[in-house]
Structure formats: structure tokens, C-alpha cells
Chain A
Amino acid sequence: MFNAVKLGLRLTSALAVVAALAMPATGKELVINSDSSFPAIKAAFEQAIAGFEAENPDINVTFNVFDNEAYKSAIRNFLSADAPDIATWFAGNRMLPYVDAKLFAPIDDVWAANNMSDTLKSAESSVTFYDKKWAIPYTYYQWGVYYRKDIFAKLGIAVPTNWEEFKQAGETLKANNIVPMAIGTKFPWTAAGVFDYLNLRTNGYDFHMALTRGEIPWTDARVRKTMAHWQELLDANFFLENHAANSWQEALPPLVNGKAGMYLMGNFIVEPLREAGLTDETLGFFQFPVIDPAIPTAEDAPANTIHLAAKATNVEEAKKFLAYFARADVQSAMNEKMSQLPVNSKSTVANDPFLQAGFKMLSNTDGGLAQFFDRDAPAEMAKAGMEGFQEFMVKPDRLDAILDRLETVRQRVYK
């Protein structure tokens, strides 16, 4: 078998040589795999890559775009079997399996040479494991409630800041035949967004992180308290019907045509909503309301990253690209195009009301910044959790069975 491997490697390198000979330039290559299939994000990547190629005319970049849902199961396959030089991924614990499996390579040298502990300080801890740096964070974005400003104004609803006001806003919307919140849980991570916020507001950042680290049983009374808040919303018919049949994009039209009033989502929701015709006059953003005033507000602010694959073939070129991607000017331009926030502290935040609002909110957050449920919890726990949340939203009476199941998974996953 080993010979077959060697033969295979030799064949591949022979093919690489042939391919290199066919190249007009001096033949330096760089392969990037990315999950940036959303149009704006794809465009931002293409623009950044074009800039890199212009600065490094000897390097030819191959940019492979994957569908962003399919990418999540493809990454492990290609990292172990047919590695690119650079792959996009997510900050937080979600990268840990790839760090542990030695599929990502540490890049402390890139961090040190470019003084990144200074410029990328805000996200440093989310890419540091075992005292090593494993990624370049290049973007992050706020989560919160996107709502129809015009409808709120017409019905005289003030932006809710606490739980009672929030529920009251929902009642007013319902009285006018408007569903309070749009959501699509076909891909159940959207339900995890609801859980994150309810749990962060009910039990606080430290509890939430301990739960996702597996230190607290799912049957704990505090988890039940969070779920009880969720139950209140379900009892009040807060959410769009048939949400399990739709992806988050398919749940956008009700918000656009005024059949729903709010949407709890990350800031990437703004671009498709604008495309569908909403403007800064009709679309607004507010911070998820406070449930327990004693708990400092914490937010979900997931950062996205790029990584050096451990099996990369063009390491030098890849490191050049990593350094380029961390630069203030590159992050400013990319994030303006994506409507997201740059991580580099020297970058400028685009002059966009949603980004400015998000930036202000996150800068003033003292409770802590979580990544997101499926990035903070390990993959298997996250999968079971998200399925459980989706089930709970449709069958709330199964709460006990769901929590018991999650507890079983917890005991197996965090051995």
C-alpha cells in the first residue's frame, strides 16, 4: 500500500511539473479553497485576490469556491486528502478538530513578523490554541435584531430594550396580522442563534461558554430557565410558521413584503434584504433586548478566518497571502464589500449605518463576545444541539426528552 502512496505522490508531482511548465509565468502557484458562495463575499474575495496577484505578478492564484453548506463537510476531506494551500474557516473551538488532527499548520511566524498581536488583538484569543496561532481572522460581524423600521413607526412600536417590551412589540405586530419574527430553520443553525441570545441574556457569557465547553449538564435548571423564555415566545406564536421547511434566505420574503416584523440574524442579512428592495428607511437594527438586568450584555460576534493547510504545497506563497490578508487596507476594502467589520484595528469601518451600529454595539459590550453556538461547542455537540433546538421550536412539549438526549451526547463527546 505504501508504494501505491509513493507512486501516487510521484504521479501528482509529475503532473504538477507538467502543469507548471504549461504556465506562462515563472510558475508559482497558490490554491485557495473557500466557502464564499454568497455573491457579496465571493466578490470581496475576488477583489482581494486580484489585488494580491497585482502585487505578486509571479504568483498564480487558483480560487475554488464551494457552496457554503457543502463546504462544512468537504473541508475535512480535502484537507486530509487533496489539500489546498489556504482554506477559509471559523474562529473559536470549531477549528480545534483540525488543529488536533494536524490539518491546519501553526503560523506564529507570520503573526510575529507582521506585528499582528497588536493589529488583530481583538480576535487573538479566538485563534490561539496550545499557545500557538492557527489563523488570520479577517472579518467579523454582529448579530442582532433586524426589523422593519417603517412598520414599527406606523404601529407606534418603540425599539424594545427589555424582555417585556420585546414581547409587547410582538403582541402589537400580531394584532396587526404581522408575524413578530421571521426565521428559517431548515439548516438548524438559525435556531442556535435564538438559543445563544436567550442563554446569554438569561445566564450570561460565562455560563454560556461553560455550557458549550461541556462543563454544565444540559439538564441544569439554568438551561431550563433559558428554554422557558423560549417557550414564552413559542406560546405567543412569535415565529413564522413552517420555519423548518425553509432556509434563512427563504424566510426573507415575509420580512420584505411586510408579513413579518423582525429577524434575528447576523449582519450578512443586510445585503440580500437591500437587494430585495429594503432601504435604510425601512430596515433597522437593534441590540437583542435585556432579559435579566443583572447580567451584563454579551453578544455573538463570529469571526471568519483563513488558515494555512498543514499539507500545503506552496507554503511561502501562502504565508505571503496570509500576511496580505491581515493588512489594514485589505481588510478595510474587503469588509466594505461584504458589509462586515474588519478585525484589524487600523482598518476603517465602512460608512454604513448597520456596520456603524454594530461596531458601536460591540465596542461597548462588556459581557463578552461569543463566536456562535456551532463554533463554541464541538461539532458533534453542536449538531445534536441545533437539531434539538429545531425540534423544540416545533415540538416544545418534548423539552425533557430533548435535554436528556443532549446530556447523553455531552457525556460522550467531552470524555
Chain B
Amino acid sequence: MFPTPIQNTSRRTYIAYQVLLPVTLILWLLPLLGVALTSIRPASDITAGNYWGWPSSFSLIENYRAVFTNSPLAAYILNSFKVTIPTVIGAIALSSLTGFALAIYKFRANLLIFFLFVAGNFIPFQILMVPVRDLSIQMGVYNSVWGLILFHIAFQTGFCTLFMRNFIRGLPFELIEAARIEDVSEFRIFWFIVLPLMRPALAALAVLVFTFVWNDYFWATVLTQGAHAQPVTAGLHALNGEWIAAWHLVSAGSIVAALPPVLMFFLMQKHFIAGLTLGAVKS
């Protein structure tokens, strides 16, 4: 193990490490802690300039209730779910098919198609912006959650295909050959043999795509306007314009908006990290 396990070092180093650990963590999360503290301050603290002292009283419930009752935050969050969940399902469905095709079959265009999917991941969004907006208008999905869902599915399919294809390549190919000898149809091979083995990959991608799409801001501003379709990232930006100087509300809103992906992360941490670090270790 590198660096040397701290237990094997001198006692002083050990104690220093144990002290340093929480201190660095607090420094690291300081901006976030400040926001959390502000979100439970009463408005009077903000006007009185008490930003860093102990809150004069705790307004946790008032602030968070105000955020939900006096603003369309709840609608924004609902929109985020409406966009994110179908996208996760759609992107995973499409990419398990493409990933399967690219991993299992040998044909001439295989690598070319695979590389196109991979390259799509790296494209700057701005070069897609104008045409995708026009396309959405023509299909009548502009300014609706469907406009976002369709785009996100298409875009995430690139990343997911890379992931799925490499994952399926790691499965024992003999399984498939054996099934073919038994004359099992190709689709049944996919459905009954490969798909059940892909569970870890599906889980990892589900968490990742959920986080990516939930946190998307650019497309939310390009493809939607107003509270009936906008997800919470764009909504929060709009509310920030409305709540100028009402930092206790901005903070509470930010925390609410960040919560779903954070929960997702803590519940599915292993899968999340497995997805993000794909390729970070030589197999």
C-alpha cells in the first residue's frame, strides 16, 4: 500500500493525521457548510449582517417551507424528475442494445461506429445548440420535458455505449457461443444470457446518468422556458434573480436542489464510483 499505512508510522504522525483529517474536511466543505448554516438562519440575521455568527434563532422549517410555498421550486423539482427518470431508462435501454451489438458481433464498421459514439461524448454542446433547438421546435417538443428527454437520451447514449460495450467485452464469450450452438436466437441471447449479467453496469449507469441529467443546466436553459417545463437547475438560477439578497432562501433552495443526486450518491456509492472510474485501472 502507498503511502505507508499510518498505523505503521510513529505515534506522533498517527495523532497528527487523526487531527488533520477532520480539519481538512471542514476546510474542504467550508463553502458548503456556510450555505447549510445560512439556510437555517432567520431573515433578520441576513439584514443585520450576522452571516457568520451563531444564528440568532433557527428557522429551518420556516425557510424550507417558504422555499416550497412561495416559489415554484416544487414544480421545478418535479420537472427534474420527469426529465431524469425517462432519460435514465431510455439511455440505458438504447445503449445496452448498441453496447451488445458492438461487443459481440464482428463486422467491418464496428470500430467506426463505436468511435463515433465515443467522440460524441466530447463534443462541445454549443455546436449542437442551434440545430437541436430548431429540431425540437419542428418536432413540437420545444419547451416541454420531452424536448429535454429526447436530447439527453441521444447524448447519454454515447457515453453509455462506451461503458456497456467494454463491460460486455469482459463477459465470457463462451457463454454466447454455447448458446448459439444450442440455436438460441440472438435476441434471446441478449435478453436471457447477457442482460442478467449486466446488472452491475446497469446500476452504475443509472446512477451516473441520473446525476448528469439532474445537474444539467445548459440544455435546460436552451430548450425550456418558465416553470411549467424547466428543471430545478434552471429554476434555481431564475429564483436567484428573484431572491436577490434573500440568501437564506437561496441557500435553502440550493440544498433542496442538490439533495436528490446526493442521496442517490450515498445510496449507490459503489456503483457510482465504479461508473466514474471506468478505465482508471488496467484490467
Any A–B CB pair closer than 8 Å: yes
- A82:B142 contact, CB within 8 angstroms: yes
Q: Is the interface of A mostly helix, strand, loop or mixed?
A: helix
Bound CA–CA A276/B228 (angstroms): 32
> A1-B138, A253-B47 are contacts. A78–B244 as well, Cβ < 8 Å?
no
Residues of B within 8 A of A64 (CB): 226-228
A37 part of interface (Cβ distance < 8 Å): yes
Partner of B237, one of A1, A70, A249, A276: A70
Mask of A1-33 contacts with B, CB within 8 angstroms, 1/0: 100110111011000000000000000000001
- A70:B143 contact, CB within 8 angstroms: no
- B225:A77 contact, CB within 8 angstroms: yes
- A37:B226 contact, CB within 8 angstroms: no
Partner of B241, one of A69, A77, A82, A252: A69
A67 part of interface (Cβ distance < 8 Å): yes
Bound CA–CA A247/B237 (angstroms): 15
Residues of B within 8 A of A33 (CB): 226
- A78:B226 contact, CB within 8 angstroms: yes
Bound CA–CA A82/B143 (angstroms): 7
- From 223 to 242 in chain B, residues with beta carbon under 8 angstroms from any chain A beta carbon are 225-228, 237-242
Partner of A4, one of B139, B237, B241: B139
Residues of B within 8 A of A250 (CB): 244-245
- Give the size category of A's interface with B: 20 to 34
Residues of A within 8 A of B237 (CB): 67, 70
Partner of B140, one of A7, A80, A247, A249: A7
B97 part of interface (Cβ distance < 8 Å): no
Mask of B112-143 contacts with A, CB within 8 angstroms, 1/0: 00000000000000000000010001111111
Bound CA–CA A37/B227 (angstroms): 12
In the complex, how many residues of chain B place their beta carbon closer than 8 angstroms to a beta carbon of chain A?
Answer: 21
A175 part of interface (Cβ distance < 8 Å): no
> A70-B237, A82-B143 are contacts. A37–B228 as well, Cβ < 8 Å?
no
A81 part of interface (Cβ distance < 8 Å): yes
- From 217 to 273 in chain B, residues with beta carbon under 8 angstroms from any chain A beta carbon are 225-228, 237-242, 244-245
Residues of B within 8 A of A411 (CB): none
Residues of B within 8 A of A67 (CB): 237-242
Tell me, rounded to whole Å, the shortest Cβ–Cβ distance linking A320 to chain B: 23
Residues of B within 8 A of A252 (CB): 245
> Residue of B at shortest CB range from A42?
B242
Bound CA–CA A218/B3 (angstroms): 64
Residues of A within 8 A of B238 (CB): 37, 66-67, 70
Which of B142, B244, B245 has its CB near the most chain A CB atoms (within 10 A)?
A: B244
A161 part of interface (Cβ distance < 8 Å): no
- B242:A37 contact, CB within 8 angstroms: yes
Tell me, rounded to whole Å, the shortest Cβ–Cβ distance linking B146 to chain A: 10
A413 part of interface (Cβ distance < 8 Å): no
> Residue of B at shortest CB range from A4?
B138
Partner of A5, one of B138, B228, B242: B138
> A74-B225, A78-B225 are contacts. A37–B140 as well, Cβ < 8 Å?
no
Mask of A78-111 contacts with B, CB within 8 angstroms, 1/0: 1011100000000000000000000000000000
> Residue of B at shortest CB range from A8?
B140
Mask of B201-231 contacts with A, CB within 8 angstroms, 1/0: 0000000000000000000000001111000
A68 part of interface (Cβ distance < 8 Å): yes
Residues of B within 8 A of A68 (CB): 241
> Residue of B at shortest CB range from A37?
B242
> Residue of B at shortest CB range from A75?
B225
Residues of A within 8 A of B140 (CB): 5, 7-9, 11-12
Residues of A within 8 A of B142 (CB): 81-82
> Residue of A at shortest CB range from B238?
A67
> Residue of B at shortest CB range from A11?
B140
Bound CA–CA A8/B138 (angstroms): 7
Residue positions of A touching B, CB distance < 8 A: 1, 4-5, 7-9, 11-12, 33, 37, 64-70, 74, 77-78, 80-82, 247, 249-250, 252-253, 276
